[in-house]
Every structure is written in C-alpha cells, then in structure tokens.
Structure 1
Amino acid sequence: MPRFSANLSLLYADLPFLERFRAAKADGFQAVECQFPYESLSGAKLHQIKAVMDELNLAMDLHNLPAGDWASGDRGIACDPARGEEFKIGLLDAIQYAKTLGVPHLNCLSGKLPKGVSFEQAQSAFVSNLTFAAEALKKENIKLLIEPINTFDIPDFFLSSSQHAVDTIMAVKSSNLYLQYDAYHMHRMGENILEIEDLMPFIDHIQVADHPGRHEPGTGEMPYGDFFMMLDDQAYEGWVGCEYHTLHQANFFQAE
C-alpha cells in the first residue's frame, strides 16, 4: 500500500490551519501537504507552522507556488504572458517557505487561459516561467511539479491533460520538472487512471479523491483498490496526497 499524506487545505477544514496538523497526526499521518501555506491564505505565520511541524515530527511534502489573487478568481499565473515578473516574485516567496519547512516539492498551477491570449502565447509563457523556476529550484534541491486540473471544476484551466503536461516537461528540457498526477482530475477529464505506466517516469507526486463529490476513495466510482495495487506494482515510492472533502467523520486512511 502506498504512503499517504494529509492535504490540510481540504481535510479538517472545520479547524484552524495550525490545528489541522494536530488532527492529521492524531489520525496517524506522518506527512502533510497543503495548497497554500502563505500567511495571507492560511492565517498562520511561517514560524508558527515550522514550530508545530517540529513539535509533532510531521513532514510537509508539498505546497503550491503563489497562484495570484485567489479570491478574485486567479488559479495560477504561470501561463499569463503579462505576469512573468509577478511569477518570479512569488517563486522567491515559495522558496523561503519551502526551505524553512523542509518541503521537497513545489507545485506550479498553470492558471486559466487569459482572455485575448492564444494557446501558443500561453504555452510559450508557461514554458519560459517553468524553465526559470525549475533551474532556480534545482539550486535549492527542490523539485518543481506541474499539475493538470479538470476543466469542470476550473473552467478554462490551461493545463488539463497528462499529455499536455508531458509535452510541456519535454519542452522545458529540465531534469527538475515533474508531473503531479491527480487521479481525480484526470478521471474527470476522461483519462483511465489504471493506464498510467507510461507516465510513471514523469510522476513525482500523486493526489487522490473519488468522483462524484471529491470525497475519500471508496465513496465513488473510481477503482482505487486497483489503482493502489498498480502503484505498488510500479514501485512508486512517493507520497499519495489525500486531497478530498471527507464524507464520513472517520478518515478513510488511518495510517500506521
């Protein structure tokens, strides 16, 4: 069975951010991840997060790069040709958080295709920003990820298929850019989550949730029993992030 980490942006959502670390530890998780640990969104200062992680002996495996103005509808800015400098400034902030918290992966959300921007223009900006970020993070020993997201949950999201992600990784030509494979998102886009053997060389982080409802595995239609066995067969050694809204009060994964 793979190793599971608790995504603190969706799990324990009724608790203040710092208390979610304690809830994850109480449920047996040894690692966590989150979408945005930044004070403006989490309400927690960097030193407070570091202190509670140290106290609980919890590792954080992943968080996202700053994604623009989330409250105003931004879902990433990396594909926007007009926001390259903002992307670079956000990268510096992300590096500070990742280094302080010991986070080995940073995920870059492409964002939505900007109005008036062609696919080719957006792809050129995306590749340029990723090339810069991958090399900057390589110097810090931090891996850069990109994550395809379904266009039902986020209409117009630019990166929405595994193939587009692989094509982008190949275009960037960096040894420090990988795929974050979110099984929920790719299932929603019609991909078969049991047929990802060709993607495994690119994957360095996985996330799960079931469909419909984006709840824990076993609550919907997705074949997670077979999926987890396939990951074992593929000798996947990374964390699997539990990024879902809990349907039942007891957590699906009570990990030892």
Structure 2
Amino acid sequence: MPQFAANLSMLYPELNFLDRFEAAAKDGFRGVEYLFPYAHPATEIAARLQDLGMEQVLFNAKPGDWEAGERGLACLPGREAEFREGIETALRYAESLACKRIHVMAGLLPTGKDRSTVESTYVANLRWAAGEAARAGVDLLLEPINLRDMPAYFLNRQDHAHQLIEKIGASNVKVQFDLYHCQVVEGDVAMKIREYLPTGRVGHFQIAGVPQRHEPDVGEMNYAYLFEVIDEISTEFGWQGWIGCEYRPARGSVPGGTSAGLGWLKRAT
C-alpha cells in the first residue's frame, strides 16, 4: 500500500501550524504536505521534521497574492519575473526540507483570455522552472483542479495535464493526481489511474471524500477499492509515491476531530 501523508493545511485545524507536525506523527503519519511554508523559517520546519522522523513530501511554490484571490502565476503573461522568483524561493525551501516535489499552481485565466491564448506562457514558464528544479533534483507537479472549487483555474482535466507535460518536454514535470478533483470534473477515476499511473508521469496522489471534501470514507467514492487499484498498478510498475490526505475533517476544528476521523486510515494500512 502506498504511504499516506498528512496535509497540514487542512488537517488538525484547531492547532497552530507548527504544532500540527507532532499531532500527525502521533497519529502514525510519517510524511507531511501542505500548501505554503513561507510564513515560517525553513530551519524551524526542518527541525520539527528531524525531531519527529518525518518526511516532507510536497509543498506549493508561491501562488502570487493568495489573500487577493490569486491561485498561481504560471499561466499569467507579464508575471514571469515574479514566477521565477517564487520558484527560486521554493527550491531553497525544498533544499532545506529535503523535499523532492513542488506543486506549481497554474493560475486563474485572465479576464478575456482563454486557455489557448495563455498556454504558451504556461509552457515557457514550466520549461524554465523544470530546468532549475532538475539541477536541484526536484520534481515539479501540475494539478488539475475542479472549477467548482476554483472557478477560472487554467488546468482542470487529467488529459490536459499529460498533454502539457509532453509539450514542456521535461522528465521531472509530473501530474499531481487529486482523486477528489478528478471525480468532480470527470469521474471514471479507477480507469484513469489504470491509464496514467503506468506512464511514469504521475508524481503524487491526493484524496478527499466527494462531494463535501471530508474524510475519504464519507461520500460517493469507494476509496478502499481505489487504494487496491493504486497498489496493484504500483506493484506492477514500481511506483513508490505518496498519497496526500488533503481533506477537511468532518468535525472541523473540534479538538481531536482529525484523529477521530482516521478510522479509514487504520483500515487502509
């Protein structure tokens, strides 16, 4: 069974961010991911990882002005310099945290633009970033995100992500395959796992229940079956990645609510 990583941006919301590492470790997680580390010195995060024997699995490059609603810079013409600065910062954090994966958010389509008019900007930015990341031994991940949760997002479908990877032409650019987003946009999730995992272009999985984005055993998806599919294909093709638990605990910020909802994890492992 692939390893599960706690997403510390969503899990343990009743705790301060830096206290969530220990909570995840106590619940048996050995890997962590989250959106952004930049509010904290990399050395402080690295010390917690080392003390707890945990692995930093994934985090995001800077997305622009998150509070103002920006969701990435990669597809935005005229923001190339800021995009490059964000990648350079992310790579410095990745080195300090011994992290081998960075998610590069695509961004929202500018008003009056469609995907075809900004794709060249996106591809050029990712080609440059891939070269920088390759020298650091880091993979860059592209995540299709559903338009219900993130209206106007540039990248929404699995096939589009794989087409873009072919255009970028860098072996260290891979797909962040979020099963929650895939179900909302496309469905047929098990067949897409079977189609894409053997290609070597899937770098990471994420999970959440559909439609409410709670625990994976809540909602319409049969994750016990999907874990079996991932395990089967992983064994056949030698995939050794992580599954990130990027969901909102059903009990919200109630103390201990995240831990109380981990029955699914005990059954899966």
Aligned-partner Cα distance in 2 for 1:237–1:12: 26
Give matches, 1:128-143, under 5 Å.
128-143=124-139
Could you tell me which residue of structure 2 aligns to residue 205 of structure 1? 204
Give matches, 1:160-171, under 5 Å.
160-171=156-167
Contact 2:157/2:186 (<8 A) preserved: no
Could you tell me which residue of structure 2 aligns to residue 12 of structure 1? 12
Deviations 1:187-233 (A, max 9, x none): 11023111122211210100000112101111110121111000011
Aligned-partner Cα distance in 2 for 1:4–1:209: 12
Aligned-partner Cα distance in 2 for 1:243–1:160: 17
Displacement of 1:176 = 1.1
Contact 1:91/1:133 (<8 A) preserved: yes
1:52 and 2:52 matched:
no
Deviations 1:131-171 (A, max 9, x none): 00111100000011100000000000010000110110000
Contact 1:212/1:220 (<8 A) preserved: yes
Displacement of 1:51 = 1.1
Count of aligned residue pairs for this structure pair: 252
Give every structure 1 segment of 4 or more consecutive aligned residues whose post-TM-superposition deviation is greater than 3 Å. none
1:175 and 2:171 matched:
yes
Could you tell me which residue of structure 1 aligns to residue 191 of structure 2? 195
Aligned-partner Cα distance in 2 for 1:68–1:134: 19
**5+ long unaligned stretches in structure 1:** none
Displacement of 1:120 = 2.0
Displacement of 1:19 = 0.2
Aligned-partner Cα distance in 1 for 2:261–2:203: 25
Contact 1:81/1:121 (<8 A) preserved: no
Displacement of 1:52 = 1.0
Give matches, 1:115-134, under 5 Å.
115-134=111-130
TM-score (norm 2): 0.91
Aligned-partner Cα distance in 2 for 1:159–1:85: 21
